[in-house]
């Protein structure tokens, strides 16, 4: 059997869209499920959209997400390199290849030179619109002979090359998600294949490259579906075997609109910066448009590879549900080591101004305890500073109503006083001592249960609920606890 080869072929427009990552992921999963190859090709033939550093950022995002490819464009030591036997994998380096096939198409009568100016094309389109017709090229240059065309080119006239579609011809292909598709050429434009700057259009380059790179399955977003008949016709014109097509439903937001930059986060980097773990994003994205046979929701990459199939990809848009993503992310945060989450949390804590480099280094274990204290309840890493900010405060102001109520209790002065006294008996409050600490306060005051713990918690955190109290004691330490209690005594008792 032929080796299965799939490719992800993004245009380097500056960032990797979350929908693009899902496309890459499905390509990857299918390739690996079939012991095939996955290839990264860069489609940069639209030079007007060139963005500095875009290839690197794309590759970094794929790398971060753990979507690995076997061939194509890589970044090594900060440099772009290519690996594989089918290169170059960057389209702007393949211009001579496209020229060769353009010539062949012209010679075989499947393409023609077109000299129409932009003004003429605009005028044609305007007229068609007025007449209520679908705007398309009117075919004026279809009949320019090759000899005449060559002469005009020699005279310096600007030109493009267009695909010469036969009239009234049914182009047929099968899509694994959408089934059989038939489009008549009367409904399709004579697509430009080669632009006046000598660069191919996407349509030409994609077909030539997919063929030469021996791509067996083309898996891409459904926005490319209208282009596919033109591609299929090119395969036929060049006498090449067609690949298998799979068009994926668009990733939509809850309002069933395309996820766009205007509506918030769409780039993979945005999600990384918001504190999503790569395996959580991948796990969740796999489920946007695909569903397993059972109700499994948490998958490792290997499980996804094993279970993934196009039969279970839906035709309709996949809804991107942030709450569900948060739930999946929370799951992965909870099952990660404290060390991993702490290391990820440090940049956020620095950014929030809670710690600096020196602090992160000298008090690393304290930070681990800090993170461990809130790890259970997190949706994202970015939430950590907000959740731990109370530990860093100079003193605690009590604002919550139920907390103010608690601190009015008649036993409170005795409890707070006993906390200070018990603390003064030791050098520092280590974890062992902290564990038995409230028992000592209980013994000293005779107060127990809620009446003991609530005021202590409120005085030290400002709230009646919150993380593991023993951890709070250790994190604050003797000096801070005393300071906080004195502040509460002064202000609220
Ligand atoms: N270069 C196209 C893009 O940016 C690739 C489409 C395809 O996969 O054929 O999405």
pLDDT band at 150 (very low <50, low <70, confident <90, very high): very high
pLDDT over 90 at 343, yes or no: yes
142-155 mean pLDDT: 95
Q: For ligand 1, is residue 11 a contact (CB within 6 Å)? A: yes
Whole-angstrom distance, CA of residue 236 vs CA of residue 163: 12
172-178 mean pLDDT: 96
pLDDT band at 196 (very low <50, low <70, confident <90, very high): very high
Q: For ligand 1, is residue 220 a contact (CB within 6 Å)? A: yes
Q: For ligand 1, is residue 43 a contact (CB within 6 Å)? A: yes
Checking DSSP bridges between strand 179-184 and strand 170-175, what pairing results, if any?
A: antiparallel
Atom number in ligand 1 closest to CA 9: 5
Which pLDDT does position 133 carry in this prediction?
87
Q: Sheet containing 111-114: which strands, arranged edge to edge?
A: 111-114, 160-163, 192-194
Which pLDDT does position 1 carry in this prediction?
78
pLDDT over 80 at 38, yes or no: yes
Which pLDDT does position 13 carry in this prediction?
87
pLDDT over 80 at 261, yes or no: no
Cβ distance 10 to 18 under 8 Å?
Answer: no
Which pLDDT does position 248 carry in this prediction?
96
Q: Which residue has better confidence, 332 or 132? A: 332
pLDDT over 80 at 120, yes or no: yes
> What does the pLDDT look like over 60-89, one tens digit per residue?
999 999 999 999 999 999 999 999 999 999
Which pLDDT does position 159 carry in this prediction?
97
Q: For ligand 1, is residue 10 a contact (CB within 6 Å)? A: yes
Q: Which tokens in the block code for residue 295?
A: 């109700």
Which pLDDT does position 260 carry in this prediction?
78
Whole-angstrom distance, CA of residue 169 vs CA of residue 184: 5
pLDDT band at 52 (very low <50, low <70, confident <90, very high): confident
> What is the whole-number distance in angstroms between the Cα of residue 411 and the centre of ligand 1?
70
The residue whose C-alpha atom lies closest to atom 2 belonging to ligand 1 is 10
> What is the whole-number distance in angstroms between the Cα of residue 8 and the centre of ligand 1?
8
pLDDT over 90 at 395, yes or no: no
> What is the whole-number distance in angstroms between the Cα of residue 11 and the centre of ligand 1?
7
Whole-angstrom distance, CA of residue 333 vs CA of residue 379: 8
Which pLDDT does position 258 carry in this prediction?
85
Which pLDDT does position 265 carry in this prediction?
80
Q: Which tokens in the block code for residue 436?
A: 């038995």
Catalytic residues: 261
Q: Which domains does the chain have, with CATH numbers?
A: 5-91+251-319 (3.40.50.620), 94-248 (3.40.50.620), 336-388 (1.10.8.70), 401-492 (1.10.10.350)
pLDDT over 80 at 420, yes or no: yes
Q: For ligand 1, is residue 206 a contact (CB within 6 Å)? A: yes
Which pLDDT does position 214 carry in this prediction?
98
Share of the chain above pLDDT 70, in %: 100
Q: For ligand 1, is residue 37 a contact (CB within 6 Å)? A: no
Which pLDDT does position 152 carry in this prediction?
96
Q: Which tokens in the block code for residue 331?
A: 């799951």
Q: Which tokens in the block code for residue 136?
A: 């398309």
> What does the pLDDT look like over 439-464, one tens digit per residue?
999 999 999 999 999 999 999 999 99
Whole-angstrom distance, CA of residue 398 vs CA of residue 137: 72
- Who contacts 391 (Cβ-Cβ below 8 Å, separation ≥6)? 370, 472, 475, 476
pLDDT over 80 at 48, yes or no: no
pLDDT band at 99 (very low <50, low <70, confident <90, very high): very high
Q: How high does pLDDT run on average in the chain?
A: 95
10-31 mean pLDDT: 95
The residue whose C-alpha atom lies closest to atom 10 belonging to ligand 1 is 10
From 8, 11, 12, mutation site for ligand 1 pocket: most ligand atoms within 8 A of C-beta:
11
């Amino acid at each position: 059997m032929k080796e299965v080869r799939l490719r992800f072929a993004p245009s380097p427009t500056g960032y990797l869209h979350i929908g693009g990552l899902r496309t890459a992921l499905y390509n990857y999963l299918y390739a690996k499920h079939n012991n095939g190859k996955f290839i990264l090709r860069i489609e940069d033939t639209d030079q007007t959209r060139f963005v500095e550093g875009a290839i690197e950022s794309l590759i970094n995002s794929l790398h971060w997400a753990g979507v690995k490819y076997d061939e194509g464009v890589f970044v090594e030591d900060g440099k772009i390199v290519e690996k594989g036997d089918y290169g170059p994998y960057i389209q702007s380096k393949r211009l001579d290849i496209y020229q060769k096939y353009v010539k062949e198409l012209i010679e075989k009568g499947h393409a023609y030179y077109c000299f129409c100016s932009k003004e003429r094309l605009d005028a044609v389109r305007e007229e068609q619109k007025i007449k209520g017709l679908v705007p398309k090229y009117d075919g004026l240059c279809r009949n320019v002979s090759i000899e005449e065309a060559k002469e005009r080119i020699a005279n310096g006239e600007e030109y493009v090359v267009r695909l010469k579609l036969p009239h009234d011809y049914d182009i047929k292909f099968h899509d694994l998600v959408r089934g059989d598709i038939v489009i008549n050429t009367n409904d399709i434009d004579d697509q430009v294949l080669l632009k006046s700057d000598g660069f191919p259009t996407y349509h030409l380059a994609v077909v030539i490259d997919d063929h030469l790179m021996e791509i067996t399955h083309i898996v891409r977003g459904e926005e490319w579906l209208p282009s596919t008949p033109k591609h299929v016709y090119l395969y036929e014109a060049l006498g090449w075997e067609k690949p298998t097509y799979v068009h994926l439903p668009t990733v939509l937001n809850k309002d069933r609109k395309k996820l766009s930059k205007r509506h918030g986060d769409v780039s993979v980097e945005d999600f990384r910066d918001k504190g999503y773990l790569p395996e959580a994003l991948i796990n969740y994205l796999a489920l946007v448009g695909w569903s397993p046979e059972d109700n499994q929701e948490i998958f490792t990459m290997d499980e996804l590879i094993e279970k993934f199939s196009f039969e279970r990809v839906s035709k309709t848009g996949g809804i991107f549900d942030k709450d569900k993503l948060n739930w999946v992310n929370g799951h992965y945060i909870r099952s990660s080591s404290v060390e991993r989450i702490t290391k990820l949390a440090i940049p956020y804590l620095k950014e929030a101004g809670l710690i600096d480099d020196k602090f992160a280094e000298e008090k690393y274990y304290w930070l681990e305890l800090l993170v461990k204290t809130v790890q259970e309840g997190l949706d994202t890493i970015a939430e950590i500073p907000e959740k731990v900010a109370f530990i860093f405060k100079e003193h605690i102001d009590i604002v919550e109503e139920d907390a103010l109520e608690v601190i009015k209790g008649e036993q409170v002065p005795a409890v707070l006083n006993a906390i200070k006294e018990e603390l003064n008996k030791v050098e520092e409050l280590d974890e062992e001592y902290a564990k038995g600490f409230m028992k000592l306060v209980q013994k000293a005051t005779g107060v127990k249960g809620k009446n003991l713990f609530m005021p202590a918690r409120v005085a030290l955190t400002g709230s009646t609920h919150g993380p593991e109290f023993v951890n709070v004691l250790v994190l604050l330490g003797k000096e801070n606890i005393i300071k906080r209690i004195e502040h509460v005594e002064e202000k609220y008792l």
